[in-house]
Structure 1
Amino acid sequence: MEERRASDKTTESFIEQLVKIGHLSEKQADSLTNQAKEQAIPIVLYLAKKHVLEPKALAKVASRYFGVPLYDLTVHNKKLIPISLLHLEIVKKKYAIPILQKNNTLVIATASLNLPEFRNLTFLTKMEIEFVLAESDKIEDIIEELKSFQSLEKKTFGAEEGSSVKEKSKGLEELSTRGESRAEDIFSGGGSDGDVTPVVRFLNKIILDAIKTNSSDIHFEPYEKRLRIRYRQDGILYEIANPPLEITNTLVSRLKVMANLDISEHRIPQDGRFKLVLKKGEPVDFRISTCPTMYGEKVVLRILDPSAATLDVGILGMDKKQQEQFLNSVQQPQGMILVTGPTGSGKTVTLYSALRLLNTPEKNISTIEDPIEIYMEGINQVQVNIKTGMTFSTALRAFLRQDPDIMMVGEIRDVETSEIAIKAAQTGHLVLSTVHTNNATLTISRLINLGIKPFDIISSLILVIAQRLVRKLCPHCKQAVKPSTVIQSIKSSKLATMFNENDVKEIFVPGSCERCNNGYKGRIGIFEVLTISEEMVKLIMMEATAMELATQARKEGILMMAESGLNKIKSGLTSFEEINRVI
């Protein structure tokens, strides 16, 4: 470390060295040192200002004397400067510019290696510090650029003492951080409120508002002339802010530091996690994904709020018969239960609602997930890690040697995983997993296409659930209308042909109020729950098509997804428009 290596040398001894090698007389040295102290300017900078030595020559002498590398700032990409790690006022005061973060080490370029003054930088940043020396005029140029950028921030977000920033950041004092990530260093890392820049306040507010509005994702998307920020609420994206494009690099760097990602790498995608804890003590986990685009890096934050996921089978949205079939199946000592649907259809919540019921001291439960989205005490949860060879199939093999009762596999994607999962389900274990198909009967066809023999399917599979999430109508502003009014507008829809207007006197359409998102608030599931009856077994052994299996399911009175949706419409929970959107 440069700090330790140079710790026995000071700027005073450096001046003595300049006298010794003939750059200054003793009289000049004393005079210049006193003048620098009177003006509160570091002596090395004062020497450059008075042109005693050219900045480049002065930096070279200092580099040799202190044994610290000389760095050429003219070749450094200024967009990569992690300025969010060190407040601009500190940069201006100490002529110390953070130029690179390497894991938990921050590299700082300075023209004046006054180590005693730099002692508190480790405290402020919560990082190890490495120094490099740079020419004072180059540092001044960068500081001027940063000051110009700060002016842009203030113009956009309001002055430090003005009402705009304070009002936009109102409520941010509720946000503190601690725990497993570096986020605590940034949000509450020992600096005063004055050390928080307008961009930081703005980002804090974006995150806090997303949590308050139960958003599932935050999108930061750079374009040619603007930065678009969107929330995903109840499955739909809404644009919520358009700050200037110039803040993109600062904002992205800050998010990367929070997740301990490499802020200097902007050519390839990166993934990470971090945790924030509200002052109420509620932890909120975030998953971050970055991806380079034409105009900069797009960042998506997935909010993994455990308090937002209510793991109760009774409120998933299943009707009475479906719920009974589900509960009966998860209580079986062995077999396989598959949940299918597109990404974001609520499969994880359905599986964890089952695991919550099964999670007792008498059961050994293990899961392999990519990623772990819901943490549950009492369950052995394993994260997929391709780099270390921890795949779904690898974990399943390990679980089978761990005396398991119940196993949950995040997704059956390949032949190897499906074969191991089915073998486990046939040998005294309950296996829960997901598959990406459009409906329940297609799931069986999917297993056959993966090469699973029909006999292995019928001897292991006990239940298939297909599901979608639909937005619920806001109870405060939904509007009752005659069924015929809506049917006329969607008469070409398959749903319209299935709906009998005489079943209900009225149905509901979205209204608008301050409590909801365009007439909707919250989501609920619509389901197909397929049990494997004797007739189904015969059809599977004959390798029947998904259509033939669906025909048999209807004969057995299984509620199809469209019918589940119609029931939600009739009960006033959602609208025709919403069911049409997801089916």
Structure 2
Amino acid sequence: MIFKVKISARLRTDEHFAPQDGRISFKFPEVGKLDTRISILPTTKGEKIVIRLLTKDTKMLTLEQLGVRGESLEKVERAYNKPWGMILTVGPTGSGKTTTLYSILQNINSREKNITTIEDPVEFDIDGVNHIQVNPNGNLTFANGLRSILRQDPDIVMVGEIRDTETARIAINAAMTGHLVLSTLHTNDAVTTVPRLIDMGVEAYLVAATVNLIVAQRLARLLCKECKQEYTLSKEEETDLEAARPDIARNIKSGDKFFKHVGCKACGGIGYKGRVGLYEVLELTKEMREIINDVNFTVDELYKQSKKEGLVTLLDDGINKLNEGLIDIPELIRVTALNE
């Protein structure tokens, strides 16, 4: 079976000791176009294959539907309405970073704008957007592809992921020269993205000049609407929470009412159905840029300034969604773990 999958995904059938990634597309009358992402990993017992389903005909969610609210949404809208600069979504693998960028692209897509993406893989197909699939075997890397895209006079460029110094520098220079650049990066929160870019070899003054917005995010499981159950937090539960997660405990107290997962037929007995994003949206203000331009700046200075400006952190957003009855305390603990 793996041999047939490799052929369909255009992977090397003679390679059994190195990881391989590919994709296969299908068309079904019932569900439309179905894209699959193939991951093959060598193990001591043979090759292990994982197939991820990506339904391209699924309706794309708006930023509000994803969970971006209030002032955070206003910050995102201000950033994507600028003609140039960089917007970054950051977080671990599987936190919905690319989905957020696609939602932004949907908002700014128009016939007058030349939009090109380079991705690995292309996860959605947006009408009017030029999508490019990375192909290292054909020397089409993020860096090489981005160079070629910039010769096509684009207005907006989306780079699936900034993985190395070369790509980071090209993307920053593109943002500096009149393009709106969207990309993702693996960092824990919004503030630490700044030193991460600098560690990758991008000069601090370029980061300060080009990065307009950093969106850190996590995905939390939504409580099933059919079976979630309201309860009152007990004193014992509050004490346990204070010991395990004092950062959460200081925001809630015994006597507060929340919801918990139960399980029913609608959710397959697990108590959760669907997901919602937790967002930390950092807009680089004049004051933030001045701090970054100081070669001796510290991350603590950025944290203090961001809090002074009212940054809603991932935990803050999680607490808000806990109080709204969208998620429960165990899920909040899981997605905002202190070692993330």
Q: Establish whether residue 331 from structure 1 lines up as the match of residue 81 from structure 2.
A: yes
Matched-pair contact (CA < 8 Å) for 1:495–1:580: no
1:520 equivalent among 251, 264, 272: 272
2:204 match: 454
| Pairs within 5 Å for 1:274-289 | 274-289=24-39
1:507 equivalent among 251, 258, 272: 258
1:464 match: 214
Cα distance between partner residues in 1 of 2:230 and 2:140: 53
| Pairs within 5 Å for 1:210-221 | none
1:565 offset after TM fit, Å? Answer: 0.4
User: CA 1:262/1:408 → structure 2, altered by over 3 Å: closer, same or farther?
Assistant: closer
1:490 match: 241
2:315 equivalent among 550, 558, 562: 562
Moved more, 417-426 or 305-314: 305-314
Cα distance between partner residues in 2 of 1:576 and 1:362: 46
Cα distance between partner residues in 2 of 1:269 and 1:482: 49
1:270 offset after TM fit, Å? Answer: 3.5
Which protein is richer in strand relative to its size?
A: 2
2:166 match: 416
Residue by residue over 1:490-519, the C-alpha shift from the partner in whole angstroms, topping out at 9 and shown as x without a partner, is 2221343331338x8410111011111511
One-letter identity of the residue aligned with 2:259? F
User: CA 1:416/1:262 → structure 2, altered by over 3 Å: closer, same or farther?
Assistant: closer
1:282 offset after TM fit, Å? Answer: 1.4
| Pairs within 5 Å for 1:132-531 | 251-259=1-9, 261=11, 266-308=16-58, 310-484=60-234, 486-492=237-243, 493-501=245-253, 505-517=256-268, 518-531=270-283
1:564 offset after TM fit, Å? Answer: 0.5
1:189 match: none
Cα distance between partner residues in 1 of 2:204 and 2:41: 42
One-letter identity of the residue aligned with 1:487? E
Cα distance between partner residues in 1 of 2:212 and 2:64: 21
One-letter identity of the residue aligned with 1:557? G
Matched-pair contact (CA < 8 Å) for 1:284–1:306: yes
Q: Establish whether residue 534 from structure 1 lines up as the match of residue 286 from structure 2.
A: yes
1:295 offset after TM fit, Å? Answer: 2.3
1:281 offset after TM fit, Å? Answer: 4.8
Structure 2: gaps of 5 or more residues: none
Matched-pair contact (CA < 8 Å) for 2:241–2:249: no
User: CA 1:270/1:536 → structure 2, altered by over 3 Å: closer, same or farther?
Assistant: closer
Q: How many residue pairs were aligned? A: 332
Structure 1 SS opposite 2:267: coil
Matched-pair contact (CA < 8 Å) for 1:311–1:356: no
One-letter identity of the residue aligned with 1:328? R
Cα distance between partner residues in 2 of 1:271 and 1:455: 37
Matched-pair contact (CA < 8 Å) for 1:346–1:468: yes
Structure 1: gaps of 5 or more residues: 1-250
Matched-pair contact (CA < 8 Å) for 2:9–2:24: yes
One-letter identity of the residue aligned with 1:464? I
Which protein is richer in helix relative to its size?
A: 1
2:299 equivalent among 542, 546, 556: 546
Matched-pair contact (CA < 8 Å) for 1:510–1:575: yes
Matched-pair contact (CA < 8 Å) for 1:309–1:349: no
Matched-pair contact (CA < 8 Å) for 1:487–1:496: no
1:550 offset after TM fit, Å? Answer: 1.2
One-letter identity of the residue aligned with 1:576? I
Residue by residue over 1:241-275, the C-alpha shift from the partner in whole angstroms, topping out at 9 and shown as x without a partner, is xxxxxxxxxx4345445435565654444433222
1:547 offset after TM fit, Å? Answer: 2.5
Cα distance between partner residues in 2 of 1:260 and 1:415: 29
One-letter identity of the residue aligned with 1:415? T
1:571 offset after TM fit, Å? Answer: 0.3
Residue by residue over 1:370-406, the C-alpha shift from the partner in whole angstroms, topping out at 9 and shown as x without a partner, is 1211121211111112222212121222122111100
One-letter identity of the residue aligned with 2:278? I
Cα distance between partner residues in 1 of 2:300 and 2:148: 37
Structure 1 SS opposite 2:266: coil
Residue by residue over 1:320-375, the C-alpha shift from the partner in whole angstroms, topping out at 9 and shown as x without a partner, is 11011101110101111111001100001100001111111000011111121112
Matched-pair contact (CA < 8 Å) for 1:276–1:285: yes
**Which ranges of 4 or more aligned residues in structure 1 deviate by more than 6 Å?**
none
% identical aligned pairs: 43
One-letter identity of the residue aligned with 1:439? D
User: CA 1:541/1:260 → structure 2, altered by over 3 Å: closer, same or farther?
Assistant: closer
Relative contact order, higher structure (CA 8 A, sep 6+): 2
Matched-pair contact (CA < 8 Å) for 2:34–2:56: yes
